[in-house]
Amino acid sequence: MNFIIAQILGIVVTIICIIMTHFKKMSHVLVSEFAANALTAVQYFILGGISGSYMCIVASVHTFVMTALNKYCKNNIRIKRNIIFGIFISIYLLIAVLLYSGIRDIFSIISSVLFSFMVVQSKSSKYRALNLIKTFSLLFYDLYTHAFTNIFTRLFTAISCSMAICRLDLNVKLKKV
């Protein structure tokens, strides 16, 4: 029963991830990232991927902090982003050291570091490019933890992200030329 619940959560995360790659505003992307990470944390916990679960919990907090920073802080925002980036990279690495149990956790660590770079971006175009890379590192973690619906999430996210890059980012650059 828990396995089925975990896979249903994965389907919901898939839908969120497909939609969020097409948002133009980072504020919308961050809210979607918060929801996707919170649900993925529950899914990994159910499936026994404890390090991935903790990384997703921290990622949810990270997106919440970045959303609040972008909304309420207008002065020295770049410096504040860098400080938050440093704090969360440290947290991710600490969790990685404490919970490391094997090769599968390396993929969780890589994706967490990439995620840190993603959420400090001010432009969604840079976010999408980093998301495409992060998606493939999570694909391997999902294979190891048997998060089968997340495998589809990663594949659909990669396709959706590629489409969004072509539609929103490359198209804009071509129009400027």
pLDDT in tens, 63-94: 999 999 988 887 888 888 889 999 999 998 89
Residue 21 near residue 161 (C-beta atoms within 8 A): yes
State the pTM of this model. 0.83
Does residue 174 surpass a pLDDT of 70?
A: no
* C-alpha span between 28 and 119 (Å, rounded): 12
- The more confident residue out of 26 and 104 is 26
pLDDT value for 8: 93
Q: pLDDT tier at 52 (50, 70, 90 boundaries)?
A: confident
Q: Average pLDDT of 97-116?
A: 85
The CA radius of gyration of the chain, in Å to the nearest whole number, is 16
